[in-house]
A and B are shown apart, each in its own frame.
Chain A
Amino acid sequence: MTGDILYRLRGPAAGSGAGAHRSRDTGGIGVFRDHVPFWRHPDARRIDLRATLRDPFEGTVVRRFEQSRALEVWALVDLSASMRFRGAGATWDLVTELCIALARSATRIGDAFGLIGCGAGPELVLPASRRRGTADAVAARLRAMAPGGASADGLLAAATSLAGRRKLVVVVSDFRLPEALTGAVFERLQGHDVVPVAIEDGALGEGLPAFGLIELEDLEGGGRRRVLMRPSLRARWLAREAERRDFLRRLALRHGRPPYRLADRFDGDDFSRHLLGTAA
């Protein structure tokens, strides 16, 4: 069982209820935020005597505290057939593991977790919920699911449906999507804190064979192709992959955070470090 995933929203949270995240709102208790004149915040219980006496203009000063807010964490999961890939790790198992960990971590600190799985359309929708059993529900639904969509165009519709208050949106995909679609999804998620999680696999990276004949079949029904692997082709393949990764990184950075590369094995702590490290 992985430990909790720690996350922080990029920018202030704007949830509806009280929670664990800093927000711009001020409220009763919490972290000290600033001093304001009494007339701006007429709360006699929060009068700061020291600051009032120190004030050269002899005004009455009131302390304000940050209201911490709960937020909604959403996972947008690519359900296209390519997510069925099994290489050094099983892509779908990684996705399941990640979503369960996120759901558990979110509900433990009072955030809501919702999930939308998208094939050609939104196929699996778990509305955001604060309930303790959310993680189990997510686990049950995802384990029963076999991704088989011919495309991931549903991501666009799902992104549109996530309107409203600022949320943490984790987009889980292998990002082997048309570049236009990826861009459009990021575009639609503009107001939210988007964390792209790119699922990759060592077997398609450094683990590629240097020589041999291999018959590759497209999981999304793109046919099959016999390929004679050799060092030069492998180098070209890796260069292409690096280029794709670089493109995704630049695209994601334009909309906030760089993508998290999830390969072969899910490590919750590593994901936490990424989330905290890129939140600033």
Chain B
Amino acid sequence: MTVLARFGVTAPAWLWLLPLALLPLAASAQRRVPIPSLAMVPADGLSRLVDAVLTLAGMAGIGFLVIALSGPHLAGESLARTGEGAQISLLVDRSGSMNETFAGRQPSGAEESKAAASRRILDGFVGRRAHDLVAVSAFSTSPMAVLPMTDRHDAVRAAIRAIDRPGLEATNVARGLGLALAQFGTGAPQASRVLLLVSDGAAVIDRRVQPTLREDFAKIRPTLYWLFLRTAGSPGLADRPAGEDTPQAAPERHLDLFFKSLGVPYRAFEAESAQAVEAAIREIDRQERKPISYAERRPQRDLTGLAYGLAALAMGLLLAGTLIETDLATRRPASRPAASRETRRAA
């Protein structure tokens, strides 16, 4: 869409006044000084230029004022663009244990909590690629849709900055996954989709929910990354529990197994420190680079100020012209002496 086609006005009725802009062609605000003959004035290019400029300034002054009154603007539009990036749905664990450090303690001094570490690293991750579409969801007992899929990275960063607020309660990963999948929406099927789950533990996924999740994964087919922020000493993904091998006894191991059984590209990163988290993120960053088409939205731009500015500029020119206006060294019209003669006679 060209700029001209996007141009619009809010109150078009004002534009009926636009013919007034032709006034400077017919008349001028300057005082006219009659002289016997214009032939006595030498031809002068600079004068003609100044005349043209002032006439145009007059027309522009009136024209832009009228346009400014009518409220000009450039209509907003949405442009389809192609860039390199991915649709990333971040799913962040906000359970209470995220407030602890990797050592399983409340953070003190220079230590940082798992939430803070993930916040710091995700922050850098998001800003790195301009055309990534990012959605942020969080979950604890119930899922929270924090931010829908967007390319406004400032908003994404603000959402990420909020994830180190103290978390609450338990971990309900199944509903969180459902929400994170729903964030992808239907658009851009060819784009690479990444679901990045950041959590420090897992919970049992109800057998009744499992088919639904499988269906969703099969439909959307995202690449699934699980950034497992492992607390030191807690069981890893591969560790079989000493007793019975049930989801209740080793939820992490069974979630991992569930993810593996989904049939989508899946990778789990077990991170026991902030450095490990960073390495995992870098790995994801490297892998997920594919062309993505995205819509760039441009908001409506108000041009009233510009129009007033141009009008002011034109009027400034006219003012300058008026300030240097001069006159012939004429005597005032002879009406005054005549009047005084009358009064003298009357006296």
- Residues of the A chain whose Cβ atoms lie less than 8 Å from the Cβ of B38: 216, 218, 222-223, 225
Partner of A213, one of B34, B36, B325: B325
Q: Which residue of B lies closest to A83 (CB)?
A: B36
Least CB distance, B8 to chain A, in whole angstroms: 37
Report the stretch among A127-135, A234-242, A252-260, A267-275 that lies at the interface.
A234-242
Least CB distance, A103 to chain B, in whole angstroms: 21
Complex Cα distance, B60 from A223, in Å, reads: 23
Least CB distance, A96 to chain B, in whole angstroms: 11
Chain B residues numbered 29-82 whose CB sits less than 8 Å from any CB in chain A:
30-42, 44, 46-47, 50-51, 54
- Residues of the B chain whose Cβ atoms lie less than 8 Å from the Cβ of A174: 36
Partner of B46, one of A203, A204, A228: A228
Complex Cα distance, B40 from A240, in Å, reads: 7
Complex Cα distance, B44 from A222, in Å, reads: 17
Partner of A225, one of B36, B47, B329, B333: B47
A203 touches B329 (CB 8 A): yes
- Residues of the B chain whose Cβ atoms lie less than 8 Å from the Cβ of A230: 46
B328 at the A/B interface (Cβ < 8 Å)?
A: yes
Complex Cα distance, B344 from A112, in Å, reads: 35
B334 at the A/B interface (Cβ < 8 Å)?
A: yes
Partner of B326, one of A204, A209, A240, A244: A209
B44 touches A226 (CB 8 A): no
Chain A residues numbered 199-239 whose CB sits less than 8 Å from any CB in chain B:
202-204, 207-209, 211-220, 222-230, 233, 236-237
A224 touches B32 (CB 8 A): yes
- Residues of the B chain whose Cβ atoms lie less than 8 Å from the Cβ of A229: 326
Complex Cα distance, B316 from A274, in Å, reads: 53
A88 touches B47 (CB 8 A): no
A203 touches B39 (CB 8 A): no
A207 touches B329 (CB 8 A): yes
A42 at the A/B interface (Cβ < 8 Å)?
A: no
A215 touches B30 (CB 8 A): yes
Chain A residues numbered 179-211 whose CB sits less than 8 Å from any CB in chain B:
202-204, 207-209, 211
Q: How many A-B residue pairs have CB under 8 A?
A: 126
- Residues of the B chain whose Cβ atoms lie less than 8 Å from the Cβ of A215: 28, 30-33
Complex Cα distance, B40 from A220, in Å, reads: 13
B37 touches A88 (CB 8 A): no
Partner of B35, one of A85, A207, A226: A85
Least CB distance, B24 to chain A, in whole angstroms: 11
A87-B328 contact given A176-B36, A233-B44, CB 8 Å threshold:
yes
- Residues of the B chain whose Cβ atoms lie less than 8 Å from the Cβ of A211: 324, 326
- Residues of the B chain whose Cβ atoms lie less than 8 Å from the Cβ of A217: 32-35
B40 touches A176 (CB 8 A): yes
Least CB distance, A248 to chain B, in whole angstroms: 13
Least CB distance, A206 to chain B, in whole angstroms: 9
Q: Which residue of B lies closest to A210 (CB)?
A: B326
B328 touches A209 (CB 8 A): yes
Complex Cα distance, B334 from A87, in Å, reads: 11
- Residues of the B chain whose Cβ atoms lie less than 8 Å from the Cβ of A222: 37-39
A86 touches B331 (CB 8 A): yes
A212-B328 contact given A225-B51, A237-B41, CB 8 Å threshold:
no
- Residues of the A chain whose Cβ atoms lie less than 8 Å from the Cβ of B342: none
A214 touches B331 (CB 8 A): no
- Residues of the A chain whose Cβ atoms lie less than 8 Å from the Cβ of B28: 215, 224, 226
- Residues of the A chain whose Cβ atoms lie less than 8 Å from the Cβ of B30: 213, 215, 226
Complex Cα distance, B41 from A207, in Å, reads: 14
- Residues of the B chain whose Cβ atoms lie less than 8 Å from the Cβ of A223: 38
B35 touches A216 (CB 8 A): yes
Q: Which residue of A lies closest to B333 (CB)?
A: A86
- Residues of the B chain whose Cβ atoms lie less than 8 Å from the Cβ of A213: 30, 50, 54, 321, 324-326
A228-B32 contact given A214-B328, A240-B42, CB 8 Å threshold:
no
B324 touches A88 (CB 8 A): no
A176 touches B51 (CB 8 A): no
Least CB distance, A16 to chain B, in whole angstroms: 38
- Residues of the B chain whose Cβ atoms lie less than 8 Å from the Cβ of A240: 40, 42
- Residues of the A chain whose Cβ atoms lie less than 8 Å from the Cβ of B321: 213
A66 at the A/B interface (Cβ < 8 Å)?
A: no
Residues of B within 8 A of A (CB): 28, 30-42, 44, 46-47, 50-51, 54, 321, 324-331, 333-334
Residues of A within 8 A of B (CB): 82-91, 93, 174, 176, 202-204, 207-209, 211-220, 222-230, 233, 236-237, 240-241, 244
Closest 4 CB pairs of A and B: A212-B326, A82-B36, A207-B329, A226-B51
